[in-house]
Amino acid sequence: MKPALRFIPVIAALMLGGSTAFISSSAAADGAVAKPIRALLISGGCCHDYPNQDQILPKGISARANVEWTVVRDSSTGTSAKVAVYSKDDWAKNFDVVIHNECFADEKDVEWLERILKPHREGVPGVVIHCAMHCYRASSDEWFKFCGVTSRRHGSHFDYPMKVQNAEHPIMKGLATSWQTPKEELYIIEKVWPTATTLTTGYSPETKHDEPNVWVNTYGKARVFGTTVGHYNQTMEQNWYLDIAARGLLWACGKLGDDGKPLPGYGPVAH
The gap between the terminal CA atoms of the chain, to the nearest Å, is 8
pLDDT, position 22: 52
pLDDT by residue (tens digit) across 132-176?
A: 999 887 667 999 999 999 998 899 999 999 999 999 999 999 999
Q: What is the pLDDT of residue 45?
A: 84
Distance CA 93, CA 109 (A): 22
Q: Which residues of the chain fall below pLDDT 70?
A: 1-33, 78, 106, 138-139, 269, 271
Question: How much is the pLDDT for 118?
Answer: 97
For residue 252, the surrounding DSSP H or E stretch is: helix 239-252
| Buried-state track 14-30, b at ≥16 Cβ within 10 A, e below 16 | eebeebbbbbbbbbbeb
pLDDT of residue 139: 66
The pLDDT value recorded for residue 239 is: 97
The domains located in the chain, with CATH, are 5-270 (3.40.50.880)
Task: Write down the pLDDT at residue 14.
Answer: 29
